[in-house]
A = this chain, B = another copy of it.
Amino acid sequence: MTENSPVTPLSGPTVPDPHHSRYAARTTAMVPSEIRDLFAANGNPDVISLAAGMPELGALPLDTLSAQVAQIVANDGLTALQYGPAQGLPPLREQICDVMALEGIRAHPDDVVVTVGSQMGLDLVTRLFCDPGDVVVAEGPSYLGALGSFAAYQAQVVQVPMDGHGLVPEGLRAALRQARETGRRVKLLYTIPNFHNPTGVTLAVERRAEILELCRAHGVLVIEDNPYGLLGFNGQTYPALHSLDPDNVVHLGTFSKTLAPGLRVGWVLAPPTVREKLVLATETATLCPPTLSQTVVSHYLGAHDWQGQIKIFRENYQERRDAMLRALKAHLPPGCTWTRPDGGFYVWVTVPEGVDTRALLPRALAAGVAYASGTGFSVDGSGHRHLRLSYCYPTPERIREGVRRLASVLESEGERARPAAGAVTPHHGQGRSRTA
């Protein structure tokens, strides 16, 4: 396990800051994420981005949505453009329960709070529970938007190892034991059980009860972040952690990956007493979630074959996953390994020793491909031997070409790195076997 420490900002203010001495202590932990710069790279058509986790929306029924939204504004505009309840629109909260039922969750609409994307849910749950110095346990690596929220509330993140079956219960047990021994309070376990970001790995069903039991025993609340649960390529779903222990799990969901992220409609399902406080927190944060967006989602769910639409999205992503895995196998140099996700958006690549994925990124960009360095997903700046590839957005053709470019950068870096790693014949490295 690893712990967080100050991270060097990639880019800081370029002028002296006259307000410097006025900021809150938490603000010093707010540094630009590495992904941010990569989103910027998206604008460059010469760079194939395998970095950003944007959904591919090409299969959306835009004509249907266009007609629906026109009707909403013309007929119900005075309601759809007005303030709404802080908790979210009641009909939408009912429909969200139907969506969650696909993963075994039995929920009451009263316990659903609509948020501005699930990021807001995560941010507000952290606000409710984390005092400065409280510990949040998370997978190592983990979603960087979550790490950002934990940092903003000055929580200390302890990352525990994953393997091909997700979070390792023994690692969790050790982290909880060590926190107890050192007198630190673990408030939350943050986990993405399905098609994890960034690794693509799914938490084995047989581990779920054990992890929940461990958290219960240690008085730790579980935050289940589930943006990809309905994007399993065989159409299979896994029992949500919430379905196994509803009183000790806060479940985060979103329409960003199953409909459209630009609407910014996510939700939190929480035990009633937590939900009550969460509604107060949403009032403070934004008064209420966007009424028009909520109405669009609700009409869409009510009038469109949304499950059929998710199937189309799944098939598109599966085709891209396949393209990426084939290209990785065909092109990546020896010594590289990668995960084989059954759903979601991401493949996690491990590169040979001596290669530093963060240091390599500028050269990759110059070669016309972007990825997310593994360092962004850890709180201690580790992850140099990993990188995240997203297959969600580019076409299969662009994916193949992107992987080809990545492979050639890795290959030449491997040639540079090998002698340094051995540090024996520094000036004759080019003579060593490429299969070493």
Closest to A58 in B: B78
Bound together, the chains give a CA A261 to CA B284 distance in angstroms of 16
| Contacting pair B69 A285 (CB below 8 A) | no
CA A264 to CA B265, docked complex, whole Å: 12
Known: A69-B69, A152-B281. A26 touches B127 (CB 8 A): yes
Contacting pair A261 B82 (CB below 8 A): yes
A276 to B19, CA, bound (A): 12
Smallest CB–CB gap between A49 and chain B, Å? 13
Highest count of chain B CB atoms <10 Å: which of A31, A33, A60, A69: A69
Residue A204 at the chain B interface, CB threshold 8 Å: no
Known contacts A24-B127, A63-B74, A69-B70; is-contact A286 B81 (Cβ 8 Å): no
Determine the main DSSP class of A at the interface with B: helix
Contact (Cβ within 8 A) A54 B82: yes
Q: How large is the interface on A (under 10, 10 to 19, 20 to 34, 35 or more residues)?
A: 35 or more
- Identify which of residues 43-78 in chain A touch chain B, using a CB-to-CB cut-off of 8 Å: 54-55, 57-58, 60, 62-63, 65-67, 69-71, 73-74, 77-78
A24 / chain B contacts, CB cutoff of 8 Å: 127-131, 134, 153
- Report chain B residues within 8 Å CB of A427: none
- Contacting residue for A116 out of B58, B116, B262, B284, CB 8 A: B116
Interface flag for A315 (CB, 8 Å): no
A307 → chain B, closest Cβ, in Å?
19
Q: Bound complex: CA of A372 vs CA of B54, how far in Å?
A: 44
A219 touches B22 (CB 8 A): yes
**Contact surface of A with B, Cβ cutoff 8 Å:** 13, 15, 17-20, 22-27, 30-33, 36, 39, 54-55, 57-58, 60, 62-63, 65-67, 69-71, 73-74, 77-86, 116-117, 119-120, 123, 127-131, 134, 145, 148-149, 152-153, 187, 219, 221, 247, 256, 260-264, 271-274, 276-277, 280-281, 283-293, 296
